[in-house]
Amino acid sequence: MPPGGKVATVEVTQENLHQIVSENNMVIVDFWAPWCGPCRSFAPAYETASEKYPDVVFAKVNTEEQQALAGYFQIRSIPTLMIFREKIIIFAQPGALPASALDQVIEKAKALDMNEVRREIEQMNQDNNSGTADERG
């Protein structure tokens, strides 16, 4: 382990994703592949951010090795960044980000009011379920 005891990035697999997302307040996942040029050029910015934000888990999914995981999250192009906060996906965007934009995304994600996010999700679920047979009893 590096000084301070924090591993810079965590390799995510189908087997450990649920545990990582469940046990951490905020997890950023980088979907990438070894043959992807933009993925390789984005890697240093991602590593730097992982050292800058020790309270955030920075994870990487190799889409070549974890095709089922990439399929589950409907990853169509790489790199794709996805941010989970309190087990909710609050950000998903394809494309490599410059370091400054990555910092902005992380700061916005940290500043989100998760109670408000949950209220919005609940409202969307209610809107989608209105008028169903089980609600009419």
> Does residue 137 form part of some domain?
no
- Residue 13 is part of a domain; what is its CATH number? 3.40.30.10
> Does residue 16 form part of some domain?
yes
What's the rounded mean pLDDT across residues 85-105? 94
pLDDT at 109 over 50: yes
pLDDT digits (tens, 9 = 90+) for 63-93: 999 999 999 999 999 999 999 999 999 999 9
Q: Could you give the percent of the chain with pLDDT greater than 90?
A: 80
> Does residue 136 form part of some domain?
no
Q: Which of 17, 26, 29, 39 is catalytic?
A: 39
pLDDT digits (tens, 9 = 90+) for 14-50: 999 999 999 999 999 999 999 999 999 999 999 999 9
Structure tokens at 105: 């995304």
Distance of CA 128 to the CA centre of its chain: 25
Q: Which of 8, 10, 20, 36 is catalytic?
A: 36
CA distances, 80 to each of 23, 53, 112 (Å): 22, 19, 21
**Residue-range definition of the domain harbouring residue 75:** 3-130
> Does residue 48 form part of some domain?
yes
DSSP code, position 25: S
> Does residue 107 form part of some domain?
yes
Question: What is the pTM (predicted TM-score) of this model?
Answer: 0.85
CA distances, 88 to each of 78, 81, 83, 94 (Å): 21, 14, 8, 18
> Does residue 135 form part of some domain?
no
- What mean pLDDT is reported for the chain? 88
39 is catalytic: yes
Radius of gyration of the chain (CA): 17
Total structural domains within the chain? 1
80 is catalytic: no
